[in-house]
Structure 1
């Protein structure tokens, strides 16, 4: 009889613990613990042709109140690393190579960390976070002719805890460049590389891509 009472007490204790834990989890957490944020960038001047040694400016300056396109709500994302990067592909050759030495990169605000893998040629973005805003600004200077694809990427399903109440929060980051205008998407169709031709415009847009040519 004592053993039966002990087992009953243990089961009751576990049920009580389970229920009490639920009291500390916000009801919204059960709807979705995944978030999808778009980060806005501006590339200027917004043109399709640059000359060697021209200056191309890239800038981001946005609030930490980010809009989630899944829940359609704003969330305060404070001082997260937002692990993302940018890259250049040359798209008038086949296969399409990554390019790093054809552009000089001068950092104005924030920092750029070069990927240790020379095959990927990724440039990781370090934002400056100050007074509830993320800021990043660099200049690109082209040194050789060609047609190039500039774009962004990010680490998928980044673990976050910015709500402080929802276990297992994950965020995915996408991008908009120049408010999502065309950004010379037509150049993708002109590439001799079939993999570039196959990129859909919605994929081009959500990676914040921009095409341009460099001439003498």
Structure 2
């Protein structure tokens, strides 16, 4: 029989407003509207004082200035207490020499974690799994990634996807696998037979009518 808790778990949806929150953090209370006009990277970790999470937080901290340069803020979360977060941040600075300058949400009630689908009973029913949500300046959820408890994330990928999303929004294009600024982009495919017929003569770098690239 299907577990009732698993059946009632909800997950946020891409291109829909991100779930709202108003939560205590290591930098005071934060709500989603505080980030209006900026990109937000909201990410969860299973627990403080764990080795994989420590490596991830140090990596986020080491790339913090790059996120800020893209107009993006970082916001961490686990279901640990505010006091645990503060102690862990201080420990990382003392033991590893890395300062965590972004806020971390205290989510003892798991209200934020549940609204973002961070609790996966199949992985752990008392911890938030490794999940990352990219929220745009209008508060719309644009990308989300879930990772297993055992494996750390690659932080540069989240910088890359923000840059790709910004390029797509500005230029109305798509980006290929592994795209980085300066690479060629994908021209949206034609939407009818006449447009497909004309595509090969429009000056793009085309392999076929549906697959064309151009310089940005």
Instruction: Considering fraction of residues, name the structure with more helix.
Output: 2
Query: Which TM-score applies when normalising by structure 1?
Result: 0.24
Query: Which TM-score applies when normalising by structure 2?
Result: 0.24
